[in-house]
Structure 1
Amino acid sequence: MAKIISMPKLSDTMEEGTVVKWNKKIGDKVSEGDILAEIETDKATQDFEIDVNGILLFIGVKEGEKTRVDDVLAIIGKEGENINHLISKSKKQKEKKEEEKKDDRIFISPLAKKMAKSRGIFINDIKGSGEYGRIVKRDIESYERKKSKKDLESKSHSTMRKSIAKHLTFSKFSAPHYYLFSKICVDELIDLRKNLNEKLSYEEKISFNDIIIKAVALSLKKHPDMNVSWDEEKVLYHSNIHIGVAVAVKDGLIVPVIRNADKKSLLQISKDIKDKISRSKLKKIQPEEIENSTFTVSNLGMYGIESFTSIINTPNSSILSVGSIMRIPIVKNSEIKIGNIMKITLSCDHRIIDGVIGSKYIDSLIKFLEDPIRILL
């Protein structure tokens, strides 16, 4: 008997998925354990492993197209089996879902509804001019006229971009942000990195970000009241220190996690970051590798950004923004000298981290980075 294969929920926040590639075509034999398709979620591109045997009889989503979780992805059955009833049923269910989604709290006349459906118009974009805000025929016609006057190119939001927008909007408007700004003299940090890299191969080179992440983790160890998450009933203290590293990828941002960063050497952190950044950009990183961070670091210094603020990556309660290293005049030992200065910004959730707690944390971080040999001890 033929079986409907639905779009799987491949992450805890996934609402829809995009079929990047089909590894089978209609008429192919499939066996349990085969990778049927590659699916892009809101977090990564993953292989979808099939758990049935049979013949691929129907493909419900073309490559490059997306559909919601639980919608029909494919149908697998016996060769020559009649599946018209299943296809018809799936189409009706999908149409019903779309109808319910469009009609939710929206008043519209039957004629206007028919016009919108036949012309592919999303009625949530239309403001009704009828009684009680009801959408009527003239509203559909007016919307089409305005739309035809616009000479704009458009591109649908990717699944990842929509997820990022939803997550950051929730964070910004649920967690009251405040920001702590500071400067760090990194002369000794530069010297330490240079000395370390002289002893390492090209593939093993340590970056400034690697050292910063280690210092961030060690500072969290000294200040466990920073390694926390907000809960409506209690404060959640994390026993482990997992540092999220913001990485720019096509269509958005992804945050791979360096687990137990306080316990890892600089070389281990460096290798871990290189591997995860590489796989993040190829969309091959797994969901569990971008979950459960306790603190996040965002570094735009390599792009020449002097300083900036970041939105907290909830359920974290803080995020560190790292700017570029600048050579500027500084006062040292009562003399004006040229020094290397790096600006940092700590964004905190004021519900759980007060200014004094955040300031003490920054003080520890500065001490590690201005006297970086302490990181290696």
Structure 2
Amino acid sequence: MSIAIRMPALSPTMEEGTLARWLVKVGDKVSSGDIMAEIETDKATMEFEAVDEGVIADIAVAEGTEGVKVGAVIATLAEEGEDVASVKPASSGNAASAEPAQGASSGQSQDVAGTDAKAQSPSPAPTQAPAQSSTGGARVVASPLAKRLAAADGIDLAGVKGSGPGGRIVKADLAGAKSGAAPAAQAAPAPAATPAPAPAPAATPAIQAQDFGIPHTEDKLSSMRKTIARRLSESKQQVPHIYLTVDIRLDALLKLRGELNGALAPQGVKLSVNDMLIKALAKALTVEPKCNVQFAGDKLLSFTRADVSVAVSIPSGLITPIVKDAGSKAISAISTEMKDLAGRAREGKLAPEEYQGGTASLSNMGMYGIKQFQAIINPPQGMIMAIGAGEKRPYIVDDALQIATVMSATGSFDHRAIDGADGAALMKAFKEFCEAPLSLVA
């Protein structure tokens, strides 16, 4: 009996994805563990492995298709001994009602075609051409990787000829393209005036974008940007934030960092201030466990170790790789791990378990010269630490006015789970670890 291969849920927050690339074609034989496709989730582009053995009898969703719902049939697999020509493509069914199959633990959802009546509704799988970014109304068909590289290099994809399937622009097509080579697209004319719609019943109606005839371009939101917009909107609307700020003198930490880097230079390790702040936050969470929690409806989850999510900016948005059990790791180990995680994050090669989870977050914008900011909590976590720039400021040292290197740190706390006094205790502990940094290496 043929097997329906369905769009997998490769992360807990994934509702749909982009089928970036097929690595098999109709007639190919696959075995369990073979890589069949690359799928772009809301956070990364990941490989999709086969669970069953057989021959690809049909591919229902073309590569490059965006917005493929989790559970939708993307291909059909003929079992060993089955005539491929006689296999009928499995119908997509309703993705929301698709039952998880045995392969779910490995991130896949594959089931035997015809075994679940609810999952076999006559609705076909989406096979339309992928929605693409547009420039002045012109459609640009490009792979996710090509889009990221073009954005990084300032290349206008409207002037690049694609060599991929259906004229799709791939990485190789960018080799000869020059930054800004394509002419600027003319803005689409403002739409004709239409009667004002009846007011929406919602208390806070959505704000509609208007171009007012100003020259502009339009870019379709990536899966990652859609997820960031949705999750941060939910956090700001549903989580009562309380903000607590402390000023931290960094002179002792900077001195210790210089000494450690001198000692670690033969090993090729160079510590950053951020590495030391990750360790300081983890130790503070260990000392003040009432802040190492999550609000879960009628329950409060309290964690026995500190897994620190660290905000990393990538071309397509923001991702938070996790340093697990950071409080028990040496700063040199944190430094090595963060360089690896950040590098693979920018390449879109993190595994889900490397960016999903975490008990608290740290976001550092000091390298941009930002003095202070208030970060939005990354749900379901209970807090996030926002780090500003270290700068020379007048500061009272031993009852005398001196010049010191001072940094402002602001903790955002979920007030449903963390009381103000407990948040203040965490900020105090974080400040003490930073100002007496030998405690970080003890």
TM-score, normalized by the shorter chain, greater than 0.5:
yes
Deviation at residue 353 of structure 1 after TM alignment: 1.6
Matched, 1:182 2:183: no
Indicate if the aligned counterparts of 2:36 and 2:49 stay in contact, CA closer than 8 A: yes
Q: Which amino acid aligns with 1:228?
A: V
Hey, what's the Cα distance between the residues in 2 that align with 1:321 and 1:210?
A: 14
Q: Which amino acid aligns with 1:276?
A: L
Equivalent runs, 1:1-377 vs 2, <5 Å? 1-66=1-66, 67-77=68-78, 80-83=84-87, 86=90, 92-94=122-124, 152-201=216-265, 203-377=268-442
Hey, what's the Cα distance between the residues in 1 that align with 2:352 and 2:125?
A: 31
Q: Which amino acid aligns with 2:246?
A: S
Deviation at residue 50 of structure 1 after TM alignment: 0.9
Per the alignment, do residues 151 and 40 of structure 1 end up closer, same or farther by CA in structure 2, a change over 3 Å counting? Answer: same
Deviation at residue 88 of structure 1 after TM alignment: 9.4
Deviation at residue 310 of structure 1 after TM alignment: 0.6
Hey, what's the Cα distance between the residues in 2 that align with 1:333 and 1:88?
A: 72
Hey, what's the Cα distance between the residues in 2 that align with 1:156 and 1:4?
A: 30
Hey, what's the Cα distance between the residues in 2 that align with 1:154 and 1:168?
A: 22
Hey, what's the Cα distance between the residues in 2 that align with 1:129 and 1:274?
A: 52
Indicate if the aligned counterparts of 1:2 and 1:81 stay in contact, CA closer than 8 A: no
Hey, what's the Cα distance between the residues in 1 that align with 2:412 and 2:222?
A: 27
Indicate if the aligned counterparts of 2:57 and 2:89 stay in contact, CA closer than 8 A: no
Deviation at residue 84 of structure 1 after TM alignment: 5.6
Q: Which amino acid aligns with 2:439?
A: R
In the other structure, the counterpart of 1:111 is none
Deviations 1:23-51 (A, max 9, x none): 12333332222100111112322211112
Q: Which amino acid aligns with 2:6?
A: S
Hey, what's the Cα distance between the residues in 1 that align with 2:223 and 2:241?
A: 27
Indicate if the aligned counterparts of 2:91 and 2:124 stay in contact, CA closer than 8 A: no
Deviations 1:43-102 (A, max 9, x none): 322211112333333333333322111112122336651456646988951489xxxxxx
Alignment gaps of 5+ in structure 1: 97-125, 134-145
If the length of structure 1 is used for normalisation, what is the TM-score? 0.81
In the other structure, the counterpart of 1:122 is none
Hey, what's the Cα distance between the residues in 2 that align with 1:7 and 1:128?
A: 40
Deviation at residue 251 of structure 1 after TM alignment: 1.7
Deviation at residue 165 of structure 1 after TM alignment: 1.7
Indicate if the aligned counterparts of 2:364 and 2:388 stay in contact, CA closer than 8 A: yes
Indicate if the aligned counterparts of 1:55 and 1:79 stay in contact, CA closer than 8 A: no
Per the alignment, do residues 190 and 25 of structure 1 end up closer, same or farther by CA in structure 2, a change over 3 Å counting? Answer: same
If the length of structure 2 is used for normalisation, what is the TM-score? 0.69
Deviation at residue 265 of structure 1 after TM alignment: 0.9
Q: Which amino acid aligns with 1:15?
A: E
Indicate if the aligned counterparts of 2:6 and 2:74 stay in contact, CA closer than 8 A: yes
Hey, what's the Cα distance between the residues in 2 that align with 1:95 and 1:61?
A: 7
Deviation at residue 17 of structure 1 after TM alignment: 1.3
Q: Which amino acid aligns with 1:18?
A: T
Hey, what's the Cα distance between the residues in 1 that align with 2:92 and 2:381?
A: 46
| 79-88 or 218-227, larger mean C-alpha shift | 79-88
RMSD of the TM alignment (CA)?
2.9
Hey, what's the Cα distance between the residues in 2 that align with 1:129 and 1:364?
A: 54
Deviation at residue 279 of structure 1 after TM alignment: 1.5
Q: Which amino acid aligns with 2:248?
A: I
Q: Larger relative CO (CA 8 A, sep 6+): 1 or 2?
A: 1
Q: Which amino acid aligns with 2:26?
A: I
SS of residue matched to 2:339: helix
| 67-76 or 182-191, larger mean C-alpha shift | 67-76
Q: Which amino acid aligns with 1:365?
A: F
Per the alignment, do residues 32 and 222 of structure 1 end up closer, same or farther by CA in structure 2, a change over 3 Å counting? Answer: closer
Hey, what's the Cα distance between the residues in 2 that align with 1:64 and 1:265?
A: 43
Q: Which amino acid aligns with 2:379?
A: T
Deviation at residue 128 of structure 1 after TM alignment: 9.4
In the other structure, the counterpart of 1:113 is none
Give me the identity figure in percent.
37
